[in-house]
Structure 1
Amino acid sequence: MLRKIRNYFITGLIVLLPIVATVYIIFAIFSTLDRVVRPVIQIIFGREIYGLGVVLSLALIIFAGIFAKNVLGRRLIALSEWLMVRIPVVKQIYITVKQIIDTVFNQTTTTAFKQVVMIEYPRKGVYQLGFVTGHGIREVQERTGVEVMNIFIPTTPNPTSGMLVLVPKEDVIYLNITIEEGLKLILSGGVLVPDWKNRIKES
Protein backbone atom coordinates (compact mmCIF):
# COMPACT_ATOMS: atom_id res chain seq x y z
CA MET A 1 0.00 0.00 0.00
CA LEU A 2 2.77 2.42 0.95
CA ARG A 3 4.62 1.54 -2.24
CA LYS A 4 1.54 2.38 -4.34
CA ILE A 5 1.11 5.71 -2.55
CA ARG A 6 4.80 6.47 -3.11
CA ASN A 7 4.50 5.61 -6.82
CA TYR A 8 1.37 7.77 -7.15
CA PHE A 9 3.18 10.62 -5.40
CA ILE A 10 6.22 10.38 -7.69
CA THR A 11 4.01 10.16 -10.80
CA GLY A 12 1.95 13.14 -9.69
CA LEU A 13 5.11 15.09 -8.94
CA ILE A 14 6.54 14.36 -12.39
CA VAL A 15 3.27 15.41 -14.07
CA LEU A 16 2.71 18.58 -12.02
CA LEU A 17 6.30 19.80 -11.71
CA PRO A 18 6.70 20.96 -15.36
CA ILE A 19 3.33 22.75 -15.23
CA VAL A 20 4.05 24.47 -11.93
CA ALA A 21 7.60 25.34 -13.02
CA THR A 22 6.35 26.79 -16.32
CA VAL A 23 3.67 28.92 -14.63
CA TYR A 24 6.15 30.05 -11.97
CA ILE A 25 8.83 31.00 -14.51
CA ILE A 26 6.37 32.93 -16.71
CA PHE A 27 4.90 34.70 -13.65
CA ALA A 28 8.40 35.51 -12.36
CA ILE A 29 9.44 36.96 -15.71
CA PHE A 30 6.39 39.21 -15.99
CA SER A 31 6.57 40.22 -12.32
CA THR A 32 10.23 41.17 -12.67
CA LEU A 33 9.65 43.12 -15.89
CA ASP A 34 6.60 44.79 -14.38
CA ARG A 35 8.63 45.97 -11.37
CA VAL A 36 11.27 47.35 -13.70
CA VAL A 37 8.91 49.30 -15.96
CA ARG A 38 6.52 50.49 -13.20
CA PRO A 39 8.77 53.39 -12.06
CA VAL A 40 9.19 54.44 -15.70
CA ILE A 41 5.40 54.52 -16.13
CA GLN A 42 5.02 56.64 -13.00
CA ILE A 43 7.66 59.10 -14.23
CA ILE A 44 6.12 59.43 -17.69
CA PHE A 45 2.41 59.43 -16.76
CA GLY A 46 2.66 60.63 -13.16
CA ARG A 47 0.64 57.67 -11.91
CA GLU A 48 0.31 53.89 -12.23
CA ILE A 49 -1.73 52.58 -15.13
CA TYR A 50 -3.17 49.14 -14.45
CA GLY A 51 -2.08 46.55 -17.02
CA LEU A 52 0.40 48.80 -18.82
CA GLY A 53 3.32 47.05 -17.13
CA VAL A 54 2.23 43.73 -18.62
CA VAL A 55 1.82 45.30 -22.08
CA LEU A 56 5.29 46.83 -21.91
CA SER A 57 6.69 43.53 -20.67
CA LEU A 58 5.22 41.77 -23.70
CA ALA A 59 6.64 44.46 -25.94
CA LEU A 60 10.06 44.05 -24.30
CA ILE A 61 10.00 40.27 -24.87
CA ILE A 62 9.01 40.75 -28.53
CA PHE A 63 11.77 43.35 -28.91
CA ALA A 64 14.25 40.87 -27.43
CA GLY A 65 13.12 38.32 -30.03
CA ILE A 66 13.57 40.82 -32.85
CA PHE A 67 16.98 41.82 -31.47
CA ALA A 68 18.04 38.16 -31.32
CA LYS A 69 17.33 37.80 -35.05
CA ASN A 70 19.87 40.38 -36.23
CA VAL A 71 23.64 40.02 -36.45
CA LEU A 72 24.49 42.10 -33.38
CA GLY A 73 21.90 40.29 -31.29
CA ARG A 74 23.22 36.88 -32.30
CA ARG A 75 26.75 37.93 -31.40
CA LEU A 76 25.70 39.19 -27.98
CA ILE A 77 23.71 36.00 -27.32
CA ALA A 78 26.71 33.91 -28.36
CA LEU A 79 28.88 35.94 -25.96
CA SER A 80 26.41 35.49 -23.10
CA GLU A 81 26.25 31.73 -23.77
CA TRP A 82 30.05 31.60 -23.80
CA LEU A 83 30.08 33.25 -20.37
CA MET A 84 27.29 31.02 -19.00
CA VAL A 85 29.04 27.74 -19.84
CA ARG A 86 32.15 28.88 -17.99
CA ILE A 87 30.46 29.42 -14.62
CA PRO A 88 30.65 26.06 -12.71
CA VAL A 89 27.18 25.83 -11.13
CA VAL A 90 25.32 27.94 -13.69
CA LYS A 91 26.77 25.89 -16.55
CA GLN A 92 24.85 22.68 -15.73
CA ILE A 93 21.55 24.47 -15.16
CA TYR A 94 21.87 26.59 -18.31
CA ILE A 95 22.84 23.69 -20.60
CA THR A 96 20.03 21.46 -19.31
CA VAL A 97 17.33 24.13 -19.62
CA LYS A 98 18.58 25.22 -23.05
CA GLN A 99 18.61 21.67 -24.42
CA ILE A 100 15.06 21.02 -23.23
CA ILE A 101 13.79 24.34 -24.64
CA ASP A 102 15.57 23.72 -27.95
CA THR A 103 13.93 20.29 -28.18
CA VAL A 104 10.44 21.62 -27.49
CA PHE A 105 10.55 24.77 -29.64
CA ASN A 106 13.02 23.90 -32.39
CA GLN A 107 11.12 22.88 -35.52
CA THR A 108 14.30 21.40 -37.02
CA THR A 109 14.16 18.54 -34.52
CA THR A 110 10.61 17.54 -35.37
CA THR A 111 11.14 17.83 -39.13
CA ALA A 112 14.37 15.81 -39.01
CA PHE A 113 12.52 12.92 -37.36
CA LYS A 114 10.26 11.18 -39.86
CA GLN A 115 8.39 8.63 -37.72
CA VAL A 116 8.29 7.13 -34.23
CA VAL A 117 9.32 3.48 -34.11
CA MET A 118 10.37 0.71 -31.72
CA ILE A 119 13.31 -1.62 -32.04
CA GLU A 120 14.56 -4.50 -29.91
CA TYR A 121 17.62 -3.04 -28.23
CA PRO A 122 20.00 -3.69 -26.49
CA ARG A 123 18.77 -7.31 -26.59
CA LYS A 124 15.79 -9.39 -27.70
CA GLY A 125 12.69 -8.75 -25.61
CA VAL A 126 13.75 -5.23 -24.59
CA TYR A 127 12.33 -2.40 -26.69
CA GLN A 128 13.64 1.10 -27.28
CA LEU A 129 11.70 4.06 -28.62
CA GLY A 130 13.38 5.72 -31.58
CA PHE A 131 12.89 8.10 -34.49
CA VAL A 132 13.46 7.32 -38.14
CA THR A 133 15.94 9.82 -39.62
CA GLY A 134 16.57 8.16 -42.96
CA HIS A 135 16.53 4.96 -45.02
CA GLY A 136 20.10 3.88 -44.49
CA ILE A 137 23.38 4.55 -46.24
CA ARG A 138 23.96 3.11 -49.71
CA GLU A 139 27.38 1.68 -48.83
CA VAL A 140 25.92 -0.04 -45.77
CA GLN A 141 23.11 -1.52 -47.87
CA GLU A 142 25.56 -2.89 -50.42
CA ARG A 143 28.06 -4.28 -47.92
CA THR A 144 25.46 -5.97 -45.71
CA GLY A 145 22.98 -6.98 -48.39
CA VAL A 146 20.22 -5.83 -46.05
CA GLU A 147 17.97 -2.79 -46.31
CA VAL A 148 18.64 -0.89 -43.11
CA MET A 149 17.06 2.24 -41.63
CA ASN A 150 18.70 5.04 -39.68
CA ILE A 151 17.14 5.10 -36.21
CA PHE A 152 18.02 7.75 -33.64
CA ILE A 153 17.69 6.45 -30.07
CA PRO A 154 17.26 9.45 -27.71
CA THR A 155 18.02 9.53 -24.00
CA THR A 156 15.64 10.47 -21.17
CA PRO A 157 14.91 13.19 -20.13
CA ASN A 158 17.15 14.95 -22.67
CA PRO A 159 16.24 13.74 -26.17
CA THR A 160 18.86 15.99 -27.80
CA SER A 161 21.50 13.40 -26.92
CA GLY A 162 21.44 9.76 -27.95
CA MET A 163 22.90 7.46 -30.56
CA LEU A 164 22.37 6.32 -34.13
CA VAL A 165 21.70 2.67 -34.87
CA LEU A 166 21.26 1.03 -38.28
CA VAL A 167 18.43 -1.50 -38.09
CA PRO A 168 17.14 -3.91 -40.75
CA LYS A 169 13.83 -2.65 -42.10
CA GLU A 170 11.97 -5.83 -41.16
CA ASP A 171 13.00 -5.41 -37.51
CA VAL A 172 11.50 -1.92 -37.20
CA ILE A 173 8.10 -1.62 -35.49
CA TYR A 174 6.18 1.50 -36.56
CA LEU A 175 4.05 3.33 -33.96
CA ASN A 176 0.93 5.36 -34.66
CA ILE A 177 1.99 8.42 -32.63
CA THR A 178 3.26 11.83 -33.70
CA ILE A 179 6.83 13.08 -33.33
CA GLU A 180 5.66 15.58 -30.68
CA GLU A 181 3.99 12.81 -28.67
CA GLY A 182 7.14 10.71 -28.93
CA LEU A 183 9.26 13.60 -27.65
CA LYS A 184 6.85 14.19 -24.75
CA LEU A 185 7.05 10.50 -23.88
CA ILE A 186 10.85 10.71 -23.79
CA LEU A 187 10.95 14.01 -21.86
CA SER A 188 8.54 12.73 -19.18
CA GLY A 189 10.33 9.43 -18.74
CA GLY A 190 7.27 7.49 -19.90
CA VAL A 191 4.72 9.36 -17.76
CA LEU A 192 2.97 11.25 -20.58
CA VAL A 193 1.75 8.31 -22.66
CA PRO A 194 -0.26 9.00 -25.87
CA ASP A 195 -3.92 7.93 -25.69
CA TRP A 196 -3.70 5.11 -28.21
CA LYS A 197 -7.19 3.63 -27.54
CA ASN A 198 -9.05 6.88 -28.25
CA ARG A 199 -7.05 7.29 -31.45
CA ILE A 200 -8.17 3.86 -32.69
CA LYS A 201 -11.82 4.71 -31.93
CA GLU A 202 -11.55 8.02 -33.83
CA SER A 203 -10.03 6.30 -36.87
Structure 2
Amino acid sequence: MRKTLMTRLRADFLAGLAVVMPVALSLAVVVWLFGTVANFTNTLLFFLPRSLTHAQGGEGPMFWHWQVVALLLAVALVIGVGRITRHYVGRRLIAWVDQVILSVPILNKIYSVIKQVNDAFSMGKKGAFQTVVLVEFPRPGLYAIGFITGEHETILDRAVGDRTVSVFIPTTPNPTSGFLLVAPESQVRPLRMSVADAVRFIVSVGSISPAGGMPAGGMLPSRPAEGDASVGTGPLPPP
Protein backbone atom coordinates (compact mmCIF):
# COMPACT_ATOMS: atom_id res chain seq x y z
CA MET A 1 0.00 0.00 0.00
CA ARG A 2 2.79 2.39 0.90
CA LYS A 3 4.64 1.58 -2.31
CA THR A 4 1.50 2.26 -4.35
CA LEU A 5 1.02 5.61 -2.60
CA MET A 6 4.64 6.61 -3.24
CA THR A 7 4.30 5.59 -6.89
CA ARG A 8 1.20 7.76 -7.28
CA LEU A 9 2.84 10.68 -5.52
CA ARG A 10 5.89 10.36 -7.76
CA ALA A 11 3.71 10.29 -10.89
CA ASP A 12 1.73 13.30 -9.66
CA PHE A 13 4.96 15.16 -8.86
CA LEU A 14 6.40 14.52 -12.33
CA ALA A 15 3.15 15.56 -14.00
CA GLY A 16 3.01 18.73 -11.91
CA LEU A 17 6.67 19.47 -12.58
CA ALA A 18 6.11 19.17 -16.33
CA VAL A 19 3.39 21.83 -16.05
CA VAL A 20 5.03 24.15 -13.52
CA MET A 21 8.57 24.20 -14.94
CA PRO A 22 7.74 25.85 -18.31
CA VAL A 23 5.64 28.49 -16.52
CA ALA A 24 8.31 29.11 -13.88
CA LEU A 25 11.07 29.36 -16.48
CA SER A 26 8.99 31.74 -18.60
CA LEU A 27 8.28 33.98 -15.60
CA ALA A 28 11.94 33.89 -14.60
CA VAL A 29 12.98 34.97 -18.10
CA VAL A 30 10.42 37.80 -18.12
CA VAL A 31 11.53 39.03 -14.67
CA TRP A 32 15.19 38.86 -15.68
CA LEU A 33 14.57 40.68 -18.95
CA PHE A 34 12.51 43.38 -17.24
CA GLY A 35 15.16 43.88 -14.57
CA THR A 36 17.97 44.00 -17.13
CA VAL A 37 16.21 46.62 -19.23
CA ALA A 38 15.25 48.64 -16.15
CA ASN A 39 18.89 48.68 -15.03
CA PHE A 40 19.95 49.75 -18.51
CA THR A 41 17.53 52.66 -18.45
CA ASN A 42 19.24 53.91 -15.30
CA THR A 43 22.09 55.07 -17.52
CA LEU A 44 19.69 57.45 -19.25
CA LEU A 45 18.96 59.40 -16.06
CA PHE A 46 21.57 61.99 -16.94
CA PHE A 47 19.53 63.05 -19.98
CA LEU A 48 16.11 63.07 -18.30
CA PRO A 49 14.26 65.78 -16.35
CA ARG A 50 14.59 65.76 -12.58
CA SER A 51 10.97 64.62 -12.15
CA LEU A 52 11.78 61.38 -13.96
CA THR A 53 14.98 60.80 -12.01
CA HIS A 54 12.93 60.98 -8.82
CA ALA A 55 10.35 58.70 -10.41
CA GLN A 56 13.01 56.06 -11.02
CA GLY A 57 13.61 55.87 -7.29
CA GLY A 58 9.92 55.42 -6.56
CA GLU A 59 9.25 59.06 -5.72
CA GLY A 60 6.71 61.40 -7.18
CA PRO A 61 3.71 60.92 -9.49
CA MET A 62 5.88 59.91 -12.48
CA PHE A 63 7.03 56.60 -10.94
CA TRP A 64 4.55 54.47 -12.88
CA HIS A 65 5.66 56.15 -16.12
CA TRP A 66 9.16 54.85 -15.54
CA GLN A 67 7.89 51.29 -15.06
CA VAL A 68 5.85 51.50 -18.26
CA VAL A 69 8.90 52.74 -20.17
CA ALA A 70 10.96 49.81 -18.88
CA LEU A 71 8.24 47.34 -19.89
CA LEU A 72 7.89 48.85 -23.37
CA LEU A 73 11.65 48.76 -23.84
CA ALA A 74 11.71 45.09 -22.86
CA VAL A 75 9.00 44.30 -25.43
CA ALA A 76 10.83 46.34 -28.06
CA LEU A 77 14.06 44.47 -27.27
CA VAL A 78 12.39 41.10 -27.82
CA ILE A 79 10.86 42.30 -31.10
CA GLY A 80 14.23 43.65 -32.19
CA VAL A 81 15.98 40.36 -31.46
CA GLY A 82 13.28 38.54 -33.42
CA ARG A 83 13.71 40.83 -36.41
CA ILE A 84 17.49 40.43 -36.34
CA THR A 85 17.30 36.63 -36.25
CA ARG A 86 15.23 36.63 -39.45
CA HIS A 87 18.23 37.88 -41.43
CA TYR A 88 21.46 36.07 -42.33
CA VAL A 89 23.74 38.28 -40.23
CA GLY A 90 21.42 37.95 -37.26
CA ARG A 91 21.33 34.16 -37.56
CA ARG A 92 25.13 34.05 -37.63
CA LEU A 93 25.25 36.28 -34.56
CA ILE A 94 22.77 34.08 -32.68
CA ALA A 95 24.78 30.99 -33.65
CA TRP A 96 27.91 32.63 -32.22
CA VAL A 97 26.07 33.46 -28.98
CA ASP A 98 24.90 29.84 -28.78
CA GLN A 99 28.48 28.62 -29.10
CA VAL A 100 29.66 30.96 -26.35
CA ILE A 101 26.90 29.89 -23.94
CA LEU A 102 27.36 26.19 -24.74
CA SER A 103 31.04 26.51 -23.86
CA VAL A 104 30.22 27.52 -20.26
CA PRO A 105 30.01 24.52 -17.88
CA ILE A 106 26.66 23.90 -16.12
CA LEU A 107 25.03 26.80 -17.98
CA ASN A 108 25.38 24.88 -21.24
CA LYS A 109 23.30 21.99 -19.87
CA ILE A 110 20.43 24.24 -18.78
CA TYR A 111 20.55 26.31 -21.96
CA SER A 112 20.62 23.30 -24.28
CA VAL A 113 17.58 21.68 -22.62
CA ILE A 114 15.51 24.88 -22.78
CA LYS A 115 16.55 25.52 -26.38
CA GLN A 116 15.78 21.95 -27.49
CA VAL A 117 12.30 21.99 -25.97
CA ASN A 118 11.64 25.42 -27.48
CA ASP A 119 12.86 24.21 -30.89
CA ALA A 120 10.55 21.21 -30.70
CA PHE A 121 7.49 23.39 -30.10
CA SER A 122 8.64 25.83 -32.79
CA MET A 123 8.92 23.03 -35.33
CA GLY A 124 5.34 22.04 -34.59
CA LYS A 125 4.09 25.61 -34.98
CA LYS A 126 5.93 26.07 -38.27
CA GLY A 127 4.20 23.04 -39.77
CA ALA A 128 7.28 20.81 -40.01
CA PHE A 129 5.14 18.18 -38.28
CA GLN A 130 2.05 17.65 -40.42
CA THR A 131 0.15 14.83 -38.70
CA VAL A 132 0.50 12.89 -35.45
CA VAL A 133 0.61 9.16 -36.12
CA LEU A 134 1.11 5.83 -34.37
CA VAL A 135 3.56 3.32 -35.85
CA GLU A 136 4.90 -0.04 -34.76
CA PHE A 137 8.41 0.73 -33.53
CA PRO A 138 11.02 -0.57 -32.76
CA ARG A 139 9.43 -4.00 -33.31
CA PRO A 140 5.97 -5.43 -34.02
CA GLY A 141 3.72 -5.22 -30.98
CA LEU A 142 5.28 -2.01 -29.64
CA TYR A 143 4.02 1.39 -30.74
CA ALA A 144 5.57 4.86 -30.87
CA ILE A 145 4.12 8.30 -31.52
CA GLY A 146 5.57 10.01 -34.57
CA PHE A 147 4.99 12.90 -36.94
CA ILE A 148 4.44 12.84 -40.69
CA THR A 149 7.08 15.14 -42.18
CA GLY A 150 6.55 14.42 -45.87
CA GLU A 151 4.97 12.20 -48.52
CA HIS A 152 6.80 10.68 -51.47
CA GLU A 153 6.18 9.85 -55.10
CA THR A 154 9.78 9.01 -55.86
CA ILE A 155 12.24 6.16 -55.96
CA LEU A 156 11.29 5.35 -52.37
CA ASP A 157 7.75 4.39 -53.41
CA ARG A 158 9.05 2.22 -56.22
CA ALA A 159 11.59 0.54 -53.95
CA VAL A 160 9.00 -0.26 -51.28
CA GLY A 161 6.22 -1.08 -53.72
CA ASP A 162 3.71 1.15 -51.94
CA ARG A 163 3.06 4.81 -51.22
CA THR A 164 5.45 5.90 -48.51
CA VAL A 165 5.65 8.70 -45.98
CA SER A 166 8.45 10.10 -43.86
CA VAL A 167 7.79 9.60 -40.16
CA PHE A 168 9.90 11.27 -37.48
CA ILE A 169 9.99 9.30 -34.21
CA PRO A 170 11.25 11.68 -31.48
CA THR A 171 13.14 10.54 -28.41
CA THR A 172 12.10 11.46 -24.88
CA PRO A 173 12.50 13.77 -23.01
CA ASN A 174 14.51 15.50 -25.76
CA PRO A 175 12.20 15.49 -28.80
CA THR A 176 14.67 17.26 -31.10
CA SER A 177 16.54 14.01 -31.75
CA GLY A 178 15.01 10.78 -32.97
CA PHE A 179 14.63 8.36 -35.85
CA LEU A 180 13.51 8.95 -39.43
CA LEU A 181 11.38 6.15 -40.87
CA VAL A 182 10.26 5.70 -44.47
CA ALA A 183 7.07 3.73 -43.90
CA PRO A 184 4.27 2.47 -46.16
CA GLU A 185 1.27 4.68 -45.45
CA SER A 186 -0.85 1.55 -44.96
CA GLN A 187 1.19 0.81 -41.81
CA VAL A 188 0.78 4.29 -40.33
CA ARG A 189 -2.20 5.12 -38.10
CA PRO A 190 -3.20 8.80 -37.93
CA LEU A 191 -4.20 10.03 -34.46
CA ARG A 192 -6.81 12.66 -33.67
CA MET A 193 -4.28 14.56 -31.58
CA SER A 194 -2.73 17.99 -32.00
CA VAL A 195 1.01 18.35 -32.50
CA ALA A 196 1.26 20.36 -29.25
CA ASP A 197 -0.44 17.57 -27.25
CA ALA A 198 1.88 14.99 -28.78
CA VAL A 199 4.98 17.05 -27.96
CA ARG A 200 3.80 17.52 -24.36
CA PHE A 201 3.23 13.77 -24.06
CA ILE A 202 6.77 13.06 -25.31
CA VAL A 203 8.54 15.76 -23.26
CA SER A 204 6.76 14.63 -20.07
CA VAL A 205 7.90 11.01 -20.65
CA GLY A 206 4.27 9.97 -20.95
CA SER A 207 3.17 11.41 -17.59
CA ILE A 208 0.85 13.93 -19.29
CA SER A 209 -1.76 11.92 -21.18
CA PRO A 210 -2.91 13.43 -24.49
CA ALA A 211 -6.43 14.78 -24.52
CA GLY A 212 -7.10 13.11 -27.84
CA GLY A 213 -9.36 15.89 -29.12
CA MET A 214 -9.46 17.32 -32.58
CA PRO A 215 -6.22 18.47 -34.24
CA ALA A 216 -5.82 22.09 -35.22
CA GLY A 217 -6.41 21.26 -38.89
CA GLY A 218 -9.77 19.58 -38.29
CA MET A 219 -10.90 15.96 -38.37
CA LEU A 220 -8.70 13.44 -40.13
CA PRO A 221 -10.83 11.66 -42.76
CA SER A 222 -9.54 8.22 -41.82
CA ARG A 223 -11.42 5.08 -40.80
CA PRO A 224 -11.19 4.57 -37.00
CA ALA A 225 -9.95 1.24 -35.75
CA GLU A 226 -12.52 -1.04 -34.16
CA GLY A 227 -13.17 -0.06 -30.56
CA ASP A 228 -10.96 3.04 -30.73
CA ALA A 229 -12.37 6.34 -31.91
CA SER A 230 -9.05 8.16 -31.61
CA VAL A 231 -7.02 5.97 -33.97
CA GLY A 232 -7.44 5.86 -37.75
CA THR A 233 -6.28 3.20 -40.16
CA GLY A 234 -5.90 3.09 -43.91
CA PRO A 235 -4.47 5.69 -46.31
CA LEU A 236 -3.53 9.09 -45.01
CA PRO A 237 -5.62 12.10 -46.02
CA PRO A 238 -4.25 14.19 -48.89
CA PRO A 239 -2.12 17.17 -47.77
Partner deviation per Cα, 1:140-179 (whole Å, 9 max, x = no partner): 3223323332211011222221111122222211101222
Match of 2:119 in 1: 102
- Judge conservation of contact 2:148–2:165 (CA < 8 Å) in 1: yes
Question: Once the two structures are aligned, what percentage of the paired residues are identical?
Answer: 29
The Cα shift of 1:122 comes to 1.2
- Judge conservation of contact 2:11–2:207 (CA < 8 Å) in 1: no
The Cα shift of 1:13 comes to 2.0
In 1, distance between residues paired with 2:159 and 2:86? 45
In 2, distance between residues paired with 1:6 and 1:83? 37
Match of 2:107 in 1: 90
Match of 1:30 in 2: 34
Select 2:182's aligned residue among 166, 175, 195: 166
Matched, 1:55 2:59: no
Partner deviation per Cα, 1:27-60 (whole Å, 9 max, x = no partner): 2221222222135247513222322222222223
In 1, distance between residues paired with 2:181 and 2:159? 16
Matched, 1:155 2:174: no
Q: CA distance change for structure 1 residues 71 and 134 in 2, over 3 Å: closer, same or farther?
A: closer
- Judge conservation of contact 1:110–1:180 (CA < 8 Å) in 2: no
* Alignment gaps of 5+ in structure 1: none
- Count of aligned pairs between the two proteins: 200
In 2, distance between residues paired with 1:83 and 1:125? 45
Q: CA distance change for structure 1 residues 141 and 68 in 2, over 3 Å: closer, same or farther?
A: closer
Q: Identify the structure with bigger relative contact order (alpha carbons < 8 Å, sequence gap 6+).
A: 1
Q: Mean alpha-carbon deviation: is it higher for 139-148 or for 159-168?
A: 139-148
**Which residue identity is paired with 2:151?**
H
Q: CA distance change for structure 1 residues 170 and 69 in 2, over 3 Å: closer, same or farther?
A: closer
In 2, distance between residues paired with 1:134 and 1:67? 30
Question: C-alpha root-mean-square deviation of aligned residues, in Å?
Answer: 2.9
* Alignment gaps of 5+ in structure 2: 56-62, 220-239
In 2, distance between residues paired with 1:78 and 1:182? 28
The Cα shift of 1:137 comes to 5.8
**TM-score under structure 2 normalisation?**
0.70
Q: From the two aligned structures, give the one with the greater helix fraction.
A: 1
In 2, distance between residues paired with 1:121 and 1:106? 22
Work out which of the two has the higher radius of gyration on C-alpha atoms and give 1 or 2.
2
**TM-score under structure 1 normalisation?**
0.81
Q: CA distance change for structure 1 residues 17 and 119 in 2, over 3 Å: closer, same or farther?
A: same
Q: CA distance change for structure 1 residues 64 and 152 in 2, over 3 Å: closer, same or farther?
A: closer
